[in-house]
Amino acid sequence: MKSIEDIMAMAQNVQAELTKAQANLDEIEVEGASGGGLVKVKASAKGRIIAIDIDASLLQPSEKQMVEDLVVAAFNDAKAKADAASQAEMGKMTSGLPLPPGFKLPF
């Protein structure tokens, strides 16, 4: 069995790696799209929205409801991609850790 000092050192190492991985998530960018690319949302893997691009052809008063729906769909697409990128990044970080099966880190 490992000593308490070894366990504490391992915990500090894990904490440092988690902090580093969290910082990296804000640098990974994903893009969600809807309406065949007419509406695009760019976000970080941490979920921060970076930009929204709406094709000029949609900017008509009669298209207001459709534009709103497309923005929501593009946002949700970007969020799903951000979540996937976040899980992939965290998976890389935790792959070498001796965690019990099914153990989930608090993310």
Number of domains in the chain: 1
CATH number of the domain enclosing 42: 3.30.1310.10
Task: Round to whole Å and give the CA distance between 73 and 39.
Answer: 9
For residue 66, tell me if it sits in a domain. Answer: yes
53-70: pLDDT as tens digits: 999 998 899 988 999 899
23 falls within a domain: no
The dihedral region occupied by 35, where left means phi > 0, alpha psi between -120 and 50, and beta the remainder, is left
Does 45 have pLDDT greater than 60?
yes
Residue 14, SS3?
A: helix
Query: For residue 48, what pLDDT band results from cuts at 50, 70 and 90?
Result: confident
Rounded to whole angstroms, how far apart are CA atoms 71 and 75?
6
Residue 74, domain extent: 29-94
Global pTM reads: 0.61
Tell me how far apart the alpha carbons of residues 78 and 31 are, in angstroms, rounded to a whole number: 5
Could you read off the pLDDT of 8-36 as tens digits, one per residue? Answer: 888 888 888 888 877 788 888 999 999 99
Is 101 part of a structural domain of the chain? no
- Residue 99 belongs to a domain: no
